[in-house]
Amino acid sequence: MKKNKAVRFKETVGIDIGTHSVKIVHLKKLHDGFKLLNYEVRPTVPQGVEYVLSDLRPERFAPVIVEMLKTLRISPKNIKHLVTSIGGDNTSIKQIKTIFLPDDELESALFFEAKKHIPISGSDMVLDYQVLSVEEKTNNMNILLSATSKEVLNQHTGILATANLNPHIVDIDSLAVANSFIMNAFTEEGVYVILNVGAHRTNMIIWGPDAKFFARDIPYGGYNFTQDIMRKRQMEWSEAEEYKFKHGLLDDPNNPTVQTISMLDISEKPTEEAIAEELRRSLRFYVKEAGNSDFRKILLTGGTAKLKGLPEYLQDKVNVPTEVFMPFTNVEMPEKFHDKKDPQLALAIGLAMRVE
C-alpha cells in the first residue's frame, strides 16, 4: 500500500517485522538488478523461553529495529526508499474481475466491490488496488485488491515512527513474498505455489505468468512444530527448539527407538499434516476457481523452510515437486555472503526489491 509518491533512490531497505523476529535487508540498486549491502535477523522474543503469542506486545519491535539499524550502520534519516509490510487476520488480498471503468470512477466503485470479497468492515477498511490487465474481447478489468484495517495500519506505522522511520511504502506480506519469487526465478508456463513458513503462520501464494493470483494464510508455523516435539518427546521448550533445528521431522539417529513427531496420537494432528491438509484444500479450491491445475513446484521460504524433512514430506503428500527457494538470483552477493543465503529473507528481499 503506497503511503507516499515514488522517489528516486540508490539504496533501498526492506524490513520484515515478523511475529517472532525482525529481518532487515539493505540493497543497492544497480542498472540491472540489485547488490546486497547487508542484512540482519534478530528475534524479538526470549531465546529458549516458551511464550504465549497473545502476551507479546507491539512495543517490543521498535527498540529491536533501532538496534539493528545501528548494527547495520543505517541512519533512519538517510533512508530514501523504505518498504515494510503487514499481514495477519485483518489483511486481505484478492484478484477480482470487474467491468471497465475510467480512473476517476474506479476507486470509489472498487471500495463497494471490495466489501463483497474482503472480510473487513467497510468503515474501517483501507483499500489499495492495481489493474493487472484489461481483456480485449470483454473489456473487463482484472484487478488485484488489497485491504487492511485502519487499526492494523496505524499500529504498524506507529512502530516505524517510534523507531524514527518514515513509512514510504507499506505492502502486504503475501505480495512481498510473491515479488521475491517473481524477481528471482526463471519461470515457465504453469502455476507455482509459494509457502512462506514463519513462526506462527504460513503465507500461501499461488502465482503463474498467466495464472490467477491467490493468497491466504495457514495458521501454523515453527512454533507449532516445537509444541509437537514437546508433547511427543516430553521435552522442555528449549530442548524441543534445539531438537527441531537439529533433526526437524527426522528421527534422532542416536536414538532409533524414538518415534518421529509425525506419529503423534491420532487426536493430536501433527503440524506438517495440518499444513499439508490445508495446502491440498487450497489447491482444490484454486483449480475450481481458476480452472488451472498445472502446478509446477511448491517453493518453501521463511525460517521454518529449513526444517529437515519438510520439503520431502509435502512433496509426498501433495505430489508436486517441492524445494526450498533462495531469493537471490538477481541479487549480486559479495563474497562474505556466499555461504549465508537464508530462505527466511525472502519477504524482506521482496520488500527491498519493490521499486514502485
Predicted pLDDT at 265: 54
Range 188-324 has CATH code 3.30.420.40:
yes
Range 1-91+148-185+326-356 has CATH code 3.30.420.40:
yes
Q: Do domains 1-91+148-185+326-356 and 188-324 have the same CATH topology?
A: yes
Task: Name the residue with higher pLDDT: 5 or 63.
Answer: 63
Predicted pLDDT at 302: 96
Q: Is the pLDDT of residue 333 over 80?
A: yes
Closest CA to 294 of 200, 211, 231: 211
pLDDT bucket at 2, cuts 50 / 70 / 90: very low
Closest CA to 195 of 301, 295, 293: 301
Mean pLDDT over 88-95 rounds to 89
Domain ranges of the chain: 1-91+148-185+326-356, 188-324
Assigned C-alpha cell, 281: 484444500
| Sequence-distant (≥ 6) Cβ neighbours of residue 23 within 8 angstroms | 15, 16, 39, 40, 41, 344, 345, 347, 348
Assigned C-alpha cell, 128: 489499495
pLDDT bucket at 279, cuts 50 / 70 / 90: very high
| Sequence-distant (≥ 6) Cβ neighbours of residue 153 within 8 angstroms | 1, 86, 126, 170
Assigned C-alpha cell, 293: 491445475
pLDDT > 90 in the chain, percent: 69
Pairing of β 322-324 and β 202-207:
unpaired
For the segment 97-152, what is each residue's pLDDT rounded down to a tens digit?
Answer: 888 888 888 888 888 777 777 777 767 888 898 999 988 888 898 999 998 999 99
Is pTM beyond 0.75? Reply is yes
Instruction: State the residue for C-alpha cell 518498504.
Output: 83
Residue 239, judged by CB atoms within 10 A of its CB (0-12, 13-18, 19+), counts as middle
Continuous H helices in 8-149: 61-72, 103-117
| Sequence-distant (≥ 6) Cβ neighbours of residue 45 within 8 angstroms | 20, 21, 51, 56, 60
Least confident of 8-12, 71-75, 81-85, 229-233: 8-12
End-to-end CA distance of the chain: 10
Mean pLDDT over 238-243 rounds to 95
Q: Is the pLDDT of residue 3 over 50?
A: no
pLDDT bucket at 267, cuts 50 / 70 / 90: low
